[in-house]
Copies of this chain bind each other. A is one copy, B any other.
């Protein structure tokens, strides 16, 4: 028995999506061809358009259709604050909190020696020229609180402070709604050390 070659190519192509294994790829291919051909055609067009139109913002490095993204062009933004995040998804999460009105720099990754991702791969020269443009008064490091995110924050902090910039880091502590009984000891230890006067 031979699977049609265009069906096989589709399954192979779906396997390149992150988190999709051979069984899922086959299930998705069958589903789309049997129940949602419109969706498949739409996805094909969306992929093609995105690949052709999405580039990186010259200022903040996030995904953008124009040379400079809408956020960087927004005159309402506080140009004295620059928040460094790992991904556009992290940026979206911070935007949703409505607590930050400054500008962003999106690393599109994190330092990860085990994966061979060093300072050069993260375009840190772009971050330096962005942070040292004269208008930035404070850089807020908002990389993840994972080992790699923390190492990235430490590296960036040293690098930016060496250039005379004020650098801060998101606070660590017990999450909102967190019950001490179920919070890990490391988080509680950090919350104790960073305790604040009320």
Q: Chain A residues in contact with chain B, CB under 8 A?
A: 1-7, 9-10, 12-14, 16-19, 24, 26-34, 36-37, 39-51, 53-54, 63-65, 69-71, 74, 87-89, 91-92, 95, 108-109
Query: Across the interface, do B63 and A7 meet the contact criterion of CB distance under 8 Å?
Result: yes
Contacts of A18 in B (CB 8 A): 27-28, 31
Contacts of A34 in B (CB 8 A): 108-109
**Complex: A41 Cα to B87 Cα, angstroms:** 22
Contacts of A39 in B (CB 8 A): 13, 16-17
Min distance, Cβ A86 to any Cβ of chain B, angstroms: 11
**Complex: A108 Cα to B49 Cα, angstroms:** 32
9 contacts between A and B (CB under 8 A): A1-B71, A2-B71, A3-B88, A10-B49, A13-B39, A17-B43, A26-B89, A43-B44, A44-B47
**Complex: A87 Cα to B53 Cα, angstroms:** 38
Query: Across the interface, do A30 and B64 meet the contact criterion of CB distance under 8 Å?
Result: no
**Complex: A53 Cα to B41 Cα, angstroms:** 12
Across chains A and B, which 8 residue pairs bring their CB atoms closest together, nearest first?
Answer: A16-B39, A44-B47, A13-B46, A13-B43, A4-B65, A10-B50, A44-B48, A10-B46
Query: Across the interface, do B43 and A47 meet the contact criterion of CB distance under 8 Å?
Result: yes
Query: Across the interface, do B27 and A65 meet the contact criterion of CB distance under 8 Å?
Result: no
Contacts of A10 in B (CB 8 A): 43, 46-47, 49-50
**Complex: A50 Cα to B37 Cα, angstroms:** 9
**Complex: A3 Cα to B95 Cα, angstroms:** 12
Min distance, Cβ A110 to any Cβ of chain B, angstroms: 12
Contacts of A26 in B (CB 8 A): 89
Residue among B1, B5, B42, B74 making CB contact with A16, cutoff 8 Å: B42
**Complex: A36 Cα to B27 Cα, angstroms:** 22
Contacts of A88 in B (CB 8 A): 3, 30
